[in-house]
Structure 1
Amino acid sequence: MSGSRGPALADPVVVAGRTAPSRLMFGPHETNLGRGRSLTRRHVAYYERRAAGGAGLVVTETASVHPSDWPYERAPLAADCGPGWAAVVDACRPHGALVLAGLGHAGSQGSSAYGQSALWAPSRVPDVVSREMPMEMEDAEIRALRDGFARSAALAVASGADGVEIDAGQHSLLRQFLSGLTNLREDGYGDDRARCLREVLLAAREAVGDGHVLGLRLSCDELAPWAGITPEQAAAVAREAAAAVDYLVVVRGSAMNVSATRPDLHTPPGFNEELCRSVRTAVDGAALVVLQGSVVDPAQAERAVREGSADLVEMTRAQIAEPDLLRLWRDGRAERIRPCVLCNQKCRVRDNRNPIVSCAVEPRSGHETEDPAEAGRDARVLDVLVAGAGPAGLEAARVLALRGHTVELVERGDRLGGGLLRAAAVGGRDRFGRLVAWWEGELRRLGVTVRTGVALTQADLERAAADGRAVVVATGSVTGPRDYGVDEGGRVLDVAELLDGRDLPDGPAVVFDPVGDGVGVGVAESLAASGRPTAIVTQDPVVGTQLALTGDLADANGRLQRAGVTLVRRARPLVVGREVVVEDVLTGVTSSLACGVLVHCGHRLPDESLTAPVVAGDRVAPRTVHEAVLEGRRAALALAGEGR
């Protein structure tokens, strides 16, 4: 890093006269950690953990500034957040982090299901996602909005916060005023679409005063140049806003492309860097500029700061995966940073199930108040044999070793990773492979004995138990049931065999995907990309229905169509031969598809070839990597006499 021009990520930065200990931001995001519409002790522990790990600025979950806004069931309401903000400040202050209260109003992108009143919007333009028609705000509502931001900002600083961040990003009413997509007004707020934002910022500045931080999250590209906010328009807005604010967070997206701000692993990390650089050039030092956009590698963040793309970097998902990210980076231990794979499986929580924010590879995230810390030494040292080195076995071995136990990890394959290796082999999901390398490094550091290419028997486990060793079985899964017939000449290959490297016979491929996650979609994409005629069959009306939870549903269907994959929806296979006979699940009408091989991407069953009192991961029930890691961790803590 010698010879670099700018500051380092771990260097302090002064914002509105207040010094943040680093240039790393933990940004606002939905958590579902609330009770009612208040922040709770779970929020406090969640934010404190990131402050302890080195975050310089912590921005709390965006709170609605007016009761007309209730975008999701556990969305905070600023008027109810005073005690919560104070508690977060008290917890984070010993670590030096600046705490900012996120403030916003979702407008037409909210929900009327909870408040049971019409949604507010600049104009009567139905939201493209909910299809709900909002009311058009009159002067009284605009005044109430402006006053709501001012009152909320005043409450935040009175509660001890270092300042506030105003949301004019993807899910915000202020963005809707700025955009020609949603602002069709013919009054002064339409002739000058930045007027509402300007008034809010001036009111918020007056409320917090010059001694507190005022930040702005600004959508700088709606990816809809025919009417939406363009980078050129955003640069002008940013230049004007910089006179009132201390920092700007550059984001992209709108209601028309909800995956654009927080895309999954198919979008390269740091996708906003050029946009951020252009905005930073436009404001010309009048305000600090923050890079946001799937930045998960501290080396990339460091380059962005040193080379002048940004003054600070938001790495929210990366810090959900690794709360100690900055501390490890600063101490020269980057190899120990648990990688964020950008899968969105557990950190994207705005859906009607109200899941608690967490991480597919760090299940303690979001559960800091009830999940014991994994580090520390147990008084009684165990000798533990872990059978199976998929994610459950790897995590069990790691946590046990962290607590001072003697651990031997045995894998029948020639490589560690188990199902993670298959996940990484699915098209577009190679980032999962980084987890295997991280676990390998951690096990080496902790002195775990690792043996590969060894197939344990039940007798081996029984002998180990007789010798006083504790045993954890994490042997994974096997092919599940199939409810279709196979005629002579029909070829069926389980997806695990394909991902393990088995060659496919010639001819068209038919991917049967009764699960609807990223596996079937990724396999179909890869097969089509190799030049093979490919179809994907699902019983659902949309391919990859479970991808709605990660934000990839629309993008995945677009990728499939661009790749030339034939989408066979509302269908199930009846017989596989040289053709596949499929039946429409609604009408019962049958049709045929040319088929050289059917790739079965269905559910799997536990591998019960070995058993012990403690089992984990797919050996319990095959699910996602999150459940495997969580159960590996729980198995380790249960053996140590702890755990939830």
Structure 2
Amino acid sequence: MSLAQPVRLGRCSAPSRVLFGPHETNLGRDRGISDRHVAYYAARAAGGAGVLVTETASVHDSDWPYERAPLASDCGPGWAAVAEACRPHGTVVLAGLGHSGSQGSSAFSQRVLWAPSRVADVASREMPMELEQPEIDALVGGFARAAGEVLRCGLHGVELNAGQFSLLRQFLSGLTNQRGDDYGTDRTRLLREVLAAVRDVVGDGVIGVRLSCDELAPWAGITPDEAVGIVEAIRDQADYIAVVRGSAMGTSATRPDLHTEPGFNAELCRTIRESAGGTPVVLQGSVVDPGRAQQALDDGVADLVEMTRAQIADPDLVVKTRAGTPVRPCVLCNQKCSVRDNRNPLVTCIGNPTAGHETESDPVPVEIRSPGREPVVVVGGGPAGLEAARVLALRGRSVEVVERAERLGGMVPTAAEVAGRGRLLDLIGWWESEVRRLGVAVRLGVEAAPEDLAGREVVVATGSAPGPWGFKVDGGVVLDVVEALRGETPEGPVVVHDPVGDFVGVGVAELLAARGVETAIVTQDQVVGTQLALTGDLADANARLQRAGVALEKRSLLREVRADHVVLEDVHTAETRERPASAVVHCGHRLPDQQLEGRPIGDCVAPRTIHEAVLEGRRIAGGLR
């Protein structure tokens, strides 16, 4: 089996074995499928996706899990537009259908949540209602009506969600299904009824099932052994089964960040495939590298591979794989593609800011080189400078990158030293190969002087410098985070000062503890690393810190650093206390390093993340014709 070759699903032939899975995008208008959705999906179909599943739509209006969540009864025109846009590429397009049940939200609907039993959701703590037969009948009917509309709109079929954020999974699980009737004694009954109702409507259309095969809660949840029984009960009713893991008790487990190794569901998927009776099985689980995906097929782990985040990062993944062209890497950071939060951000990617913005004008057209024009000088070889150089070269401009360090990447190689974030280097490797392939002149170890740049077209991407400390130093040792990561490890005890609450402070504390240094982390927040809630790593990060023996100094301000200790102040009571410390690593905000004239981009405008740097590099290149 080749990743880029066709595969049969029911009556349909998909052009590749790569699946673009359902995920929250916030691209919707009201609760429908918008023009943004259409362009987003069409780009992945054009890039070779074999199977594409649209964002999961609620099949009943009792379910409104997030503000822009699609509602099946409102999706008809959007589904039809997606079908039309993807048809020329041969992609098998399916509509994701589901109901979030007790994992939903009453904030928008102002209605009670539905559930198999009266078990409060572990995240929202909200108590749902236990479904009676009329509601169960309405749910089954909702799936059937939605599936009928999907076929009328020209899609090839549906994927039913019995995975994360799913009422169907809640009926399958002893964590949430404590009923004494037939739906409790045979927990597969509801899923089988839904499958039968949907099959009656779609006929020989494609039906996929997204199934949680390990809730990671063996005391009562679905285990791999129980999943085998579920699969045996439904395999003849489905055209494929997408194997996922996770439950309400571990939502991040379904799509974890870069701390979890890619392909984590491989053995689980292999077990399910062995019991699937020939029904195709899809491997899901942070698979972002085409080589690893092909290996899973070669090893008999799965029949198809879901590569959703990889295709957000590079919609042309399959086309490039066929051509042997390097694929823009996904680093699994979840920083911009995980959008289920109250800010309603649009889905995008730190390395590919076009993702989710396909309806806007393309900033990277290829133009004919204009002979005789002065080269654009890009000062700084970090993400902003490299992206600017890449896009300018694609536009036909001559480009020279001047970097004062001996390697490209700016702050990224340093950030990659932070515990668990080594994959960030993949992006730098791709950028470096691209700029060199495009003929960009790269000068390393060169400090650009103002006199050398006079009269030339200059893009300034010189990055950031250490920012203010905000605390008093009286004889103690304070290291900026960059100094700490690039130099020798300080001897303990070390205090990591984390006024930002993102991955930096947490990762530095983990790194020091792993090197055997007695470490404490200081934060003014109630929880360490509060910003990690946005990427799904908050609970896991705090667990890692505690397992590593890092002392958590929460609700605390760092006031003074002295020779052998620090002074902390409680944010609520203003009481002070001392903690031993031979050194402090400051992980606070940095300041722009802008000392040259030119068009500034990235951190030398305001230090932020890779995403903003790349976006500004692309925008500035679009303005230099």
TM range (shorter): over 0.9
Structure 2 counterpart of 1:633: 618
State how far apart, in whole Å, the 2-side matches of 1:203 and 1:15 are. 19
State how far apart, in whole Å, the 1-side matches of 2:295 and 2:194 are. 34
Shift of 1:457: 1.8
Matched, 1:356 2:342: no
Structure 2 counterpart of 1:123: 117
Note the aligned Cα RMSD (angstroms). Answer: 1.0
Structure 2 counterpart of 1:201: 195
Q: Equivalent residues in 2 for 1:218-257 (5 A)?
A: 218-257=211-250
State how far apart, in whole Å, the 1-side matches of 2:386 and 2:417 are. 19
* Cα offsets for 1:89-113 (capped at 9, x unmatched): 1111101101000000000000001
Shift of 1:611: 2.7
Shift of 1:586: 1.0
Amino acid at match of 2:451: A
Shift of 1:460: 2.2
Q: Does the CA-based 8 Å contact 2:17-2:305 persist in structure 1?
A: yes
Structure 2 counterpart of 1:19: 13
Matched, 1:132 2:126: yes
| Partner of residue 530 from structure 1, selected from 505, 515, 521 | 515
Matched, 1:401 2:393: yes
| Partner of residue 425 from structure 1, selected from 397, 417, 432 | 417
Structure 2 counterpart of 1:610: 596
Structure 2 counterpart of 1:339: 329
State how far apart, in whole Å, the 1-side matches of 2:596 and 2:500 are. 27
| Partner of residue 438 from structure 1, selected from 430, 433, 455 | 430
| Partner of residue 502 from structure 1, selected from 484, 487, 512 | 487
TM-score (normalised: structure 2): 0.98
Q: Does the CA-based 8 Å contact 2:58-2:69 persist in structure 1?
A: yes
Q: Does the CA-based 8 Å contact 1:504-1:597 persist in structure 2?
A: no
Matched, 1:447 2:439: yes
State how far apart, in whole Å, the 1-side matches of 2:189 and 2:370 are. 66
Matched, 1:492 2:478: yes
Matched, 1:33 2:33: no
Matched, 1:600 2:586: yes
Q: Equivalent residues in 2 for 1:51-66 (5 A)?
A: 51-66=45-60
SS at structure 2 position matched to 1:113: coil
Structure 2 counterpart of 1:554: 539
Shift of 1:151: 0.2
Shift of 1:282: 0.5
Matched, 1:278 2:271: yes
Structure 1: stretches of 5+ with no match in the other structure = 1-6
Shift of 1:371: 3.8
Shift of 1:368: 0.5
| Partner of residue 324 from structure 1, selected from 297, 316, 327 | 316
TM-score (normalised: structure 1): 0.96
State how far apart, in whole Å, the 1-side matches of 2:78 and 2:596 are. 49
* Cα offsets for 1:426-458 (capped at 9, x unmatched): 111000011111111001100000001111122
* Cα offsets for 1:22-59 (capped at 9, x unmatched): 00000000000000000011101000000111100110
State how far apart, in whole Å, the 1-side matches of 2:435 and 2:499 are. 36
Amino acid at match of 1:43: H
SS at structure 1 position matched to 2:107: helix
Structure 2 counterpart of 1:217: 210
Matched, 1:477 2:471: no
State how far apart, in whole Å, the 1-side matches of 2:110 and 2:449 are. 61
State how far apart, in whole Å, the 2-side matches of 1:569 and 1:380 are. 58
State how far apart, in whole Å, the 2-side matches of 1:149 and 1:421 are. 49
Structure 2 counterpart of 1:314: 306
Q: Does the CA-based 8 Å contact 1:23-1:311 persist in structure 2?
A: yes
Amino acid at match of 1:226: W
Structure 2 counterpart of 1:370: 360
State how far apart, in whole Å, the 1-side matches of 2:56 and 2:280 are. 21
Shift of 1:17: 1.5
Matched, 1:43 2:29: no
Shift of 1:552: 0.1
SS at structure 2 position matched to 1:430: coil
Shift of 1:373: 4.6
Amino acid at match of 1:629: V
Shift of 1:159: 0.4
State how far apart, in whole Å, the 1-side matches of 2:171 and 2:292 are. 33
State how far apart, in whole Å, the 2-side matches of 1:216 and 1:573 are. 51
Q: Equivalent residues in 2 for 1:463-474 (5 A)?
A: 463=454, 466=455, 469-474=456-461
Shift of 1:284: 2.3
State how far apart, in whole Å, the 2-side matches of 1:294 and 1:321 are. 13
State how far apart, in whole Å, the 2-side matches of 1:23 and 1:564 are. 44
Matched, 1:619 2:613: no
Shift of 1:585: 1.0
Paired-residue identity, %: 64
State how far apart, in whole Å, the 1-side matches of 2:75 and 2:444 are. 53
Q: Equivalent residues in 2 for 1:579-598 (5 A)?
A: 579-598=565-584
Q: Does the CA-based 8 Å contact 2:363-2:619 persist in structure 1?
A: no
Shift of 1:252: 0.3
Structure 2 counterpart of 1:185: 179
Shift of 1:482: 1.2
Q: Does the CA-based 8 Å contact 2:489-2:512 persist in structure 1?
A: no
Going from structure 1 to structure 2, the CA distance change for 1:88 and 1:543 (only over 3 Å counts) comes to: same
Structure 2 counterpart of 1:572: 557
* Cα offsets for 1:155-196 (capped at 9, x unmatched): 001100000000000110000000000001111111111111
State how far apart, in whole Å, the 1-side matches of 2:479 and 2:44 are. 45
Q: Does the CA-based 8 Å contact 1:60-1:101 persist in structure 2?
A: yes
State how far apart, in whole Å, the 2-side matches of 1:258 and 1:371 are. 35
